[in-house]
């Protein structure tokens, strides 16, 4: 399907229809084919889109005609206010990182890797193969395809020390993306009204899933070297929490990777409190300078609920992730997942398994490191050359972004708006704080498609900050 030319013809015809009287006949397929330099198939597709919208109707053998427009009566929707009542959660809708922006803008806001960081040929080949198997027309098991579950378990088993019984396929639940895993874990293993310890700042998607599940967040400070285990212990003691959500490897947004000592100490705190560690290993395949060391590989007694996603490393269209959890908690989460959406498309699972079991997948992973490193360097070099007042306290050893502190008193949203007016899209840091932000931050991704324009974007940021954007009027230069 040629999306672009179909879309172009649809847009042109929609404009034509807007001024045409009801019953007017559309130009013939032949005329449209000639006018738009498109194939008859593309023209047909465009007409079908318009027919599906109810704008035109085709009379076989006669032609296609503009449909009579209906009387536009304004809908009375006020009654819904009473039915819906006030919002109870704090679901604030889309994150700034999820915005779709003009292709002309330099996107430093998105957390999704650009095409050249994805194994595109592998993905397409795997999808083509999967399309030909039974997985294209059959229902997958609730917990996922057995071989994919084995692969996820094997990834942890590979790095487990000799004295830890590694997880097996039975401990794995395949998910349609790791966000679904967060929602299910927070609902099933924490529960509405109960406390969940989190780092601050932490991933906004986890804050959102927690709000949806109605759990109460208990933030502990965290930074470039991770949280203080004593803070975590105190949070458990004070609130009776039985779960701690964290990103020990290339945390979003701080980039922290926990040291071996910190991993051991946190695991010890979690064990002593009879609690779960929800380990979100989101950037497992996005290492740059170090290797990921999942805590889950060291866990023998079911304290770690491990989340790993392929969405960002294989393809955002292959929404496949998995959680690994042992014991009753796995059963409780699986029951929640089954109630939520029954099963994950077997086609996506088969394609994901195909990709990650190809030898070329390892080659791709090796190639991603220098590609991410080059992007990180380009962004950091640009920032230090042009935006000296922006402080990047920590160079992340993996992941897709840097966490940069604005001058004290600056308003990140004002900075975002000032940058956006000049074609550079950044994400204000406030979304990553479960409570009031402790400082003004931006999260700047280096995974977008515009690496050649990182320098120019940093220049814009520097100029915006130099002009005092985001600062109170009195503090501007």
Which of the residues 320 through 379 are near a copy of itself (CB under 8 A)? Answer: 326-329, 331-332, 334-336, 338-348, 350, 354, 357
* Interface positions, 244-283, toward a copy of itself (CB under 8 A): 274-276
Give me the least distance between CB of 180 and a copy of itself, in Å please: 4
Q: Which residue, 336 or 430, is less far from a copy of itself as judged by CB?
A: 336
Position among 13, 140, 288, 424 found at the interface with a copy of itself (CB under 8 A): 140
The continuous run of DSSP H or E covering 58 comes out as strand 56-59
Q: Are the beta carbons of 236 and 220 closer than 8 angstroms? A: no
Cβ distance to a copy of itself smaller for residue 30 or 90: 90
Query: Which one of residues 130, 383, 415, 464 is an interface residue with a copy of itself (CB under 8 A)?
Result: 130
Strand pairing class (441-445; 401-405): antiparallel
Tokens of 99: 């915005």
H or E element that contains 445:
strand 441-445
Q: Of residues 35, 291, 301, 393, which one binds a copy of itself by CB under 8 A?
A: 301
Structure tokens given for 476 = 């501007």
Identity of the residue, 41 or 421, whose beta carbon is nearer to a copy of itself in the bound complex: 41
With contacts defined by CB under 8 A, name the span among 210-218, 248-256, 393-401, 404-412 that binds a copy of itself.
210-218
**Which residues from 444-463 bind a copy of itself, rule CB under 8 A?**
none
Candidates 19, 14, 10; CA nearest to 44 is: 10
DSSP structure string for 338-371? HHHHS---HHHHHHHHHHHTSHHHHHHHHHHHHH
Give yes or no for residue 18 binding a copy of itself (CB under 8 A).
no
Among 12, 160, 264, 413, binds a copy of itself (CB under 8 A): 160
Which member of 5, 29, 133, 239 binds a copy of itself (CB under 8 A)?
A: 133
Nearer to a copy of itself, 352 or 471 (CB): 352
What angle (nearest 5°) sits at the alpha carbon of residue 306, between those of residues 301 and 310?
150
What's the burial of 60, exposed, middle or buried (CB within 10 Å: 0-12/13-18/19+)?
Answer: exposed
Backbone angles phi, psi at 216, to 5 degrees: -95, 120
Is the sign of the CA dihedral 381, 221, 325, 190 positive or negative? negative
- For a copy of itself, the binding residue among 80, 261, 452, 474 (CB under 8 A) is 80
Least Cβ distance, residue 231 to a copy of itself (angstroms): 20
Backbone dihedral angles phi then psi of residue 115, each to the nearest 5 degrees = -50, -40
131, 363, 384, 389: residue in contact with a copy of itself (rule CB under 8 A): 131
Which range of residues in 140-148, 395-403, 411-419, 431-439 is near a copy of itself by CB under 8 A?
A: 140-148
User: Alpha-carbon distance 65 to 57, whole Å?
Assistant: 5
Figure out which of the listed residues 38, 66, 189, 383 binds a copy of itself, where binding follows CB under 8 A.
Answer: 189
What part of residues 44-73 is at the interface with a copy of itself (CB under 8 A)? 45, 48-49, 51-54, 70-73
Task: Figure out which of the listed residues 243, 278, 310, 465 binds a copy of itself, where binding follows CB under 8 A.
Answer: 243
Contacting range for a copy of itself; rule: CB under 8 A; set: 86-94, 261-269, 285-293, 451-459: 86-94
| Cα of 88 vs its chain's centroid, Å | 25
Rounded CA-CA distance 177/182 in Å is 9
| 406: Cα separation from own chain's centroid | 24
Q: Which of 108, 127, 322, 444 binds a copy of itself (CB under 8 A)?
A: 127
List C-alpha distances in Å: 5 to 10, 37, 41, 130, 271: 8, 9, 11, 28, 58
Judged by CB under 8 A, the stretch of 122-130, 224-232, 287-295, 410-418 that binds a copy of itself is 122-130
Q: What region, left, alpha or beta, does residue 140 occupy, with left being phi > 0 and alpha being psi -120 to 50 degrees?
A: beta
Nearer Cβ to a copy of itself, position 297 or 426?
A: 297
Tokens of 432: 């990553």
Q: Which is nearer to a copy of itself, 53 or 381 (CB)?
A: 53
Angstrom distance (rounded) from CA 138 to CA 346: 7
Closest distance to a copy of itself from the beta carbon of 314 (Å):
9
- Residues in the interface with a copy of itself (CB under 8 A) total 119
């Amino acid at each position: 399907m040629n999306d672009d030319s179909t879309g172009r013809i649809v847009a042109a015809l929609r404009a034509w229809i807007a001024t045409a009287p009801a019953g007017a006949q559309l130009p013939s397929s032949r005329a449209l084919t000639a006018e738009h330099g498109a194939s008859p198939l593309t023209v047909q597709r465009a007409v079908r889109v318009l027919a599906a919208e109810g704008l035109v109707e085709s009379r076989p053998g006669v032609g296609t005609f503009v449909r009579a427009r209906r009387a536009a009566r304004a809908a009375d929707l006020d009654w819904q206010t009473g039915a819906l009542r006030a919002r109870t959660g704090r679901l604030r809708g889309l994150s700034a990182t999820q915005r779709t922006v003009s292709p002309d803008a330099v996107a430093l806001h998105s957390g999704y890797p650009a095409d050249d960081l994805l194994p595109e040929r592998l993905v397409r080949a795997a999808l083509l193969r999967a399309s030909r198997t039974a997985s294209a027309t059959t229902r997958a098991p609730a917990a996922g395809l057995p071989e994919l579950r084995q692969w996820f378990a094997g990834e942890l088993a590979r790095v487990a020390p000799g004295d830890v019984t590694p997880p097996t396929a039975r401990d794995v639940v395949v998910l349609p993306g790791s966000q679904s895993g967060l929602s299910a874990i927070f609902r099933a293993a924490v529960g509405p009204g109960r406390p969940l310890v989190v780092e601050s700042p932490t991933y906004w998607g986890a804050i959102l899933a927690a709000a949806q599940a109605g759990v109460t967040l208990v933030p502990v400070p965290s930074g470039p070297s991770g949280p203080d285990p004593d803070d975590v212990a105190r949070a458990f003691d004070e609130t009776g929490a039985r779960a701690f959500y964290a990103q020990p490897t290339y945390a979003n947004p701080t980039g922290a990777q926990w040291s071996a000592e910190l991993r051991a100490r946190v695991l010890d705190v979690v064990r002593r409190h009879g609690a779960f560690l929800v380990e979100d290993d989101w950037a497992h395949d996005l290492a740059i300078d170090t290797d990921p060391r999942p805590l889950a590989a060291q866990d023998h007694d079911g304290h770690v609920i491990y989340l790993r996603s392929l969405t960002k490393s294989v393809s955002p269209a292959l929404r496949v992730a998995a959680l690994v959890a042992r014991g009753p908690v796995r059963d409780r989460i699986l029951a929640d997942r089954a109630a939520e959406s029954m099963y994950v498309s077997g086609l996506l699972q088969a394609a994901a398994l195909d990709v990650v079991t190809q030898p070329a997948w390892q080659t791709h992973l090796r190639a991603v490191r220098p590609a991410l490193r080059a992007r990180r360097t380009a962004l950091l070099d640009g920032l230090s050359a042009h935006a000296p007042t922006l402080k990047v306290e920590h160079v992340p050893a993996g992941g897709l972004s840097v966490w940069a502190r604005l001058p004290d008193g600056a308003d990140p949203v004002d900075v975002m708006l000032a940058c956006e007016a000049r074609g550079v899209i950044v994400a204000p840091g406030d979304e990553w704080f479960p409570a009031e932000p402790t400082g003004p931050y931006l999260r700047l991704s280096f995974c977008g498609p515009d690496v050649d324009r990182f320098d120019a974007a940093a220049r814009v940021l520097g100029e915006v900050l130099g002009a005092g954007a985001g600062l109170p009027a009195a503090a501007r230069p």
